[in-house]
Amino acid sequence: MRALDERAQGILLLAIAAVSIRLGLTDAALAFVKPGLQPALLGTGIGLAVLGAHGLRRAYRRPPEADVAHPGAHHDHAPGVAWMLAIPLLTLLLVAPAPLGSFAAARQGSTPPAMSPAGFAELPEPRDGAVDLSLRDYVGRALFDPATSLDGVRVRLIGFVTPPEDDADGSYLLTRFAVNCCAADALAFTVEVLGDEARPTETWLEIEGRWQPRDGHEPGTASAEPPLLIADRITPIDQPGEPYEY
């Protein structure tokens, strides 16, 4: 790959800076990283814009005779591998990546991630008769809370539909990813929804319902299967602005 002269470096840096600033300011970033990283992306974008503008200014301000007198003397080339930085920009343009969905969830399997069987805070106050819980919190309490704090509580969960691994009974899975830093470390949290007819995969739902323990599962221990949710009010919704739990 050809090395980049100062003008190409400046243009590439300005393009990266523009994307970085946009990700720092808009919800578009939330398909990739946690919101806490957005101020850092904004700052990075501004810094890169300054570097890029500085490089461009140097490229255009240099008197042409200097090049003739000392060919190559003032050229600050960057290695050709820098062109690779255009690939994520093109990917954003071409593929317009969506937040991780059911394909990525299926890659992780529906076995719940392990959590610590301690440290469960008081449930929040109910809103309109149901407690808003993240799927991560619901799965944690349903499987690992020895005090079974979900017993008899009406909850409201948000997630998207993923197909069950064996579609014997008409149930489906409700899934949401939890992200700690970026989508590469996303963990899928899944519940099995009972009491509803089949739904198309990837549909976002808000479900009110109750926890039902699985036969033979001892609260506070790991389980090979996702916890159950008996649904009694299901509302299809748009994909939330924050597609992951953070």
Partner 1 sequence: MLALLAAVVAQSWAATALDHPAVQTWATIFVSITVQALPFLALGVTVSGAIAAFVPSSLIARLLPDRPLVAVPAAGVAGAVFPGCECGSVPVAGRLTANGAAPAAAFAFMLAAPAINPVVLVATAVAFPGRPDMVVARLLASFATAVAVGFLWARFGRREWLLQRRPHPVAAGSTRWEVFAGTARHDFLHAGGWLVVGSLAAATLQVVVPRSIMTSISETEWLAVVVLATLAVVLAICSEADAFVAASLSQFSLTARLVFLVVGPVVDIKLIALHAGIFGRSFAIRFAPLTFVTAVVSALGVGWWLL
> Would you tell me which residues interact with partner 1 (CB under 8 A)?
4, 9, 12-13, 16, 20, 23, 29, 31-33, 37, 40-41, 43-44, 47-48, 51-52, 54-55, 73-74, 76, 78-88, 90-95, 97-104, 107-109, 111, 113-116, 118-119, 180-185, 187, 222
Q: Least CB distance from residue 194 to partner 1, whole Å? A: 24
12 versus 207: smaller Cβ distance to partner 1? 12
Give the Cβ contact number of residue 142 at 10 Å: 26
24 versus 159: smaller Cβ distance to partner 1? 24
Q: Least CB distance from residue 46 to partner 1, whole Å? A: 10
32 versus 211: smaller Cβ distance to partner 1? 32
Q: Which two tokens stand for residue 86?
A: 């255009």
In the 3-class helix/strand/coil scheme, how is 6-24 assigned residue by residue? HHHHHHHHHHHHHHHHHHH
43 versus 170: smaller Cβ distance to partner 1? 43
Q: Least CB distance from residue 76 to partner 1, whole Å? A: 5
Contact 245, 195 (CB under 8 A): no
Phi, psi of 191 (to 5 degrees): -125, 155
Q: 211-229: buried (b, 16+ CB within 10 Å) or exposed (e) per residue? A: bbeeeebebeeebeebbbb
